[in-house]
Amino acid sequence: MVTRTTLSAVAPWTRLATGPEDWDAADPALLGTMLAQMHLIRAFEEEVLVLAGEGLVHGPAHSSIGQEGGAVGSIVGLRPSDQINGSHRGHHQFLAKALAYAAPGLDPTGALPETVDRVLYRTLAEILGLEPGFGHGRGGSMHLRWAEAGALGTNAIVGGGVPLAAGAAMAHKLAGTGDIAVTCFGDGAMNIGATLETMNLAAAWSLPLLFFVENNFYAVATRVDEVTREARLSGRAPGFGIPAWRVDGMDPLAVHLATEEAAALLRAGRGPALIEVEVYRYFHQNGPFPGSAFGYRPKEEEAAWRARDPLKRTADEMIRRKLIDEAAVADLRDRCEALMRDIAGRLVEPEGNRRRIRPGLWPDKAFVDVGIRAPLPAHPPGRRAEEEARGLAMAERRFVDAIADLLNRRFATDPSLVLMGEDVHRLKGGTNGATRGLADAHPGRVLGTPISEGAFTGLAGGLAIDGRYRPIVEFMYPDFMWVAADQVFNQIGKARHMFGDDTDVPLVLRTKIAMGTGYGSQHSLDPAGVFATAPGWRIVAPSTPFDYVGLMNAALLCRDPVLVIEHVDLYQMTGEVPADDLDYLVPLGRARIVRPGAEMTVLTYSAMVHRTLETVDALGVDAEVIDLRTLDRLSLDWETIGDSIRRTHNVLIVEQGARGTSYGGMLADEIQRRYLDWLDQPVQRVHGREASPTISRVLERAAFAGPAEIAAGLALTMAEKGRPLDAAALGALV
């Protein structure tokens, strides 16, 4: 006979509401601060909509009018050292955190401090894209960040900031501060994989992270109940073992009380937690018109929600308690509106019968590319340079052993390092042995992750941006970057520049090229060409154990995210490494001539360096072979490359991977722009076919470049010089 047992989740799911006794018990100063903050935010948002209506906001203006109660109620009780991030509709949360930091304990009947003016001025300037803004105008409405105040940045990708907040929470946990992180997002983000992945990861690692969901019932014009069966979004949390609260977001006190309960769990090490607040945006997704103007919301629904306005609710309760009167509330409203008119007047000016941005406030055009990457680190005292290290006594090491040796050395000397990835803590050092011994020697700092690249990569990005720790992430295969593409490219790669050169992102991403292993189309990518087209990343591709140690040491001093490309063909290859020094540096941005020559310049990297040398020697070509070592646009060693080209006048670029994701296409274009007058022929290239490698041994080999293709490239370059190679020698290779 079938038996059935009703199961219950391991975490509670609670509906929290307030009654008159809760408002009577509330601290008058708390209520006053909430009322003042909400009126300031409301007046700010209304002024933004006025400016947007005049065409002065370039891009969207996602107002939060109507949702102030959720933001203020959740943030007013946080510590200054707690951190938040938010979504594209995040003005209210940003301002609540910034005002709580800059002007704590606001009195709704007193004069507004000068610090309030400065916060509102800089925020409005940022939304208008102006130099005085927090990000010098780069972030605009959707990318507001003030790290000093604990505002980590709002985000234009739905759900994109959630993993980053997990990184901040991880930093708090590792540091043992008792601080928490809050990630604020809307109902639409609850259907995003990054959000759900992060909920799972945060629960698995017990992070002090509060998921704060503003359910305003519409993702643009689509109702929540149209796209999910369980429209009570907090119901998803118990499935991850996360306690959840569902609260009326138009009741700021209820939100505050729920947040206090959740924060207490987090500070006690029992996180994460989730709060869903039911709120309502009074206007459309973007701009100064209500949703009813676009036909997807009835006017009666809008009127019913407006009747429950959080500003009125708070004022009414304070009036009932005789903490304030109607005249004082009206005066507060008038003063906030007047302040915003004055601030706007300092940013715009009359022009005929219209207004315009004050011309002197625009950012300098020369600032456009400033801050894509940080300056390369200076050579620290006491660390040997490459040339000095090459003169030391050497020991033979396998490439993969050199990786493990180096990582163990760095973890022993740098307590800020944290490594994460799939199986990195098991299998005697991950799937290739590169992290051998780390987990046992450094418990809590080597973390095996769920199979959720988006979540753990974003978490690492947030950890790096926090600044107290330096994460190393391992992608088992580089093709998995597409699973985590938003975090890799939209978040980590763009963070520094997007926020006005405001933040370092010291993160290292290790991955391997696995062509020739039979793992097929989704495990065989050379990622260099993809990352080289994405701003913000630095790229290194060592070809020897010596270079790996020195380049990784340099990468771990860098303030930018660095992609470190390994190759399965190199792992078992042996090479020399200093016997008693694993601290030396091979600086980023310096190529190495591994074979001098006069006939042509061959540019290559990683395992193709060795294949190129073997083929050049077999054919007897007097080629100069340069191992690029660092591949991103800013780090290319044009001094070495250019000197060689001016001597040989011919260039061949050699890479292994597919034509479509080729690195050489970008490099050839740059060379021809810089050195056209020195070239005797177009830049020649060796690369794989258009198709990705597949499982069949024969088709896999046909898809990528090897010795035969290198030989053909050398032969073509020599033929174009009018000096064809010996047919017999060429035939033996091709």
Q: Which residues are catalytic?
A: 453, 523
- Widest CA span of the chain, in angstroms? 101
Map residue 335 onto helix, strand or coil.
Answer: helix
Number of Cβ within a 10 Å radius of residue 362: 13
User: CA-CA distance, 125 to 145, in Å (whole number)?
Assistant: 13
Whole-Å CA distances, 582 to 213, 492, 573: 47, 28, 18
Neighbours of 336 (CB within 10 A): 24
11: tokens are: 């975490």
Coil/strand/helix, residue 272: coil
Backbone phi, then psi, for 152, in 5-degree steps? Answer: -80, -15
Please tell me what DSSP assigns to residue 270. -
Angle, vertex CA 651, rays to CA 648 and CA 652, nearest 5: 135
Q: Are strands 623-627 and 592-595 parallel, antiparallel or unpaired?
A: antiparallel
Structure tokens of 512? 């391997």
The amino acid sitting at 639 is E
126: amino acid identity, one letter:
E
135: nearest Cα among 469, 494, 458, 489:
494
Residues in Cβ contact with 288 at an 8 Å cutoff, skipping those fewer than 6 apart? 49, 50, 52, 53, 61, 63
Secondary structure of 139-184 in HEC code, one letter for each residue: CHHHCCCEHHHCEEEECCCCCCCHHHHHHHHHHHHHHCCCCCEEEE
- Are 723 and 699 in contact by the 8 Å Cβ rule? The answer is no
Give the integer Cα–Cα distance in Å for 221 and 200.
29
The neighbouring-strand residues paired with 626 are 593, 603
Residues 6+ apart with CB under 8 A from 480: 453, 511
User: DSSP assignment, residue 726?
Assistant: P
Only one residue has tokens 């102006």, namely 130
**CA 144, CA 80: separation in Å to the nearest integer?**
17
- 551 closest CA partner among 543, 542, 560, 559: 542
Residue (of 194, 259, 189, 193) closest to 219 by Cα position: 189
**Helix or strand (DSSP H, E) at 613:** helix 608-619
Query: Could you write out the DSSP letters of every residue in 453-497?
Result: HHHHHHHHHHHHHHSS-EEEEE-SSGGGGGTTHIIIIIIITTHHH
Interstrand relation of 562-567 and 508-513 (parallel, antiparallel or unpaired): parallel
Rounding to the nearest 10 degrees, give the CA dihedral for residues 712, 718, 719, 723: -140
DSSP state of 630: B
365 Cβ contact list (under 8 Å, min separation 6): none
CB 235 within 8 A of CB 244: yes
∠ CA 304-310-316, rounded to 5°: 100
User: How far apart, in whole angstroms, are the C-alpha atoms of residue 432 and residue 699?
Assistant: 25
Cβ(64)–Cβ(92) under 8 Å? Answer: yes
DSSP secondary structure letters along 526-553: -THHHHHTSTT-EEE---SHHHHHHHHH
CA distances (Å), 491 to each of 67, 324, 465, 563, in order?
26, 45, 11, 15
Instruction: Give, in degrees to the nearest 5, the angle at Cα 627 between 623 and 629.
Output: 165
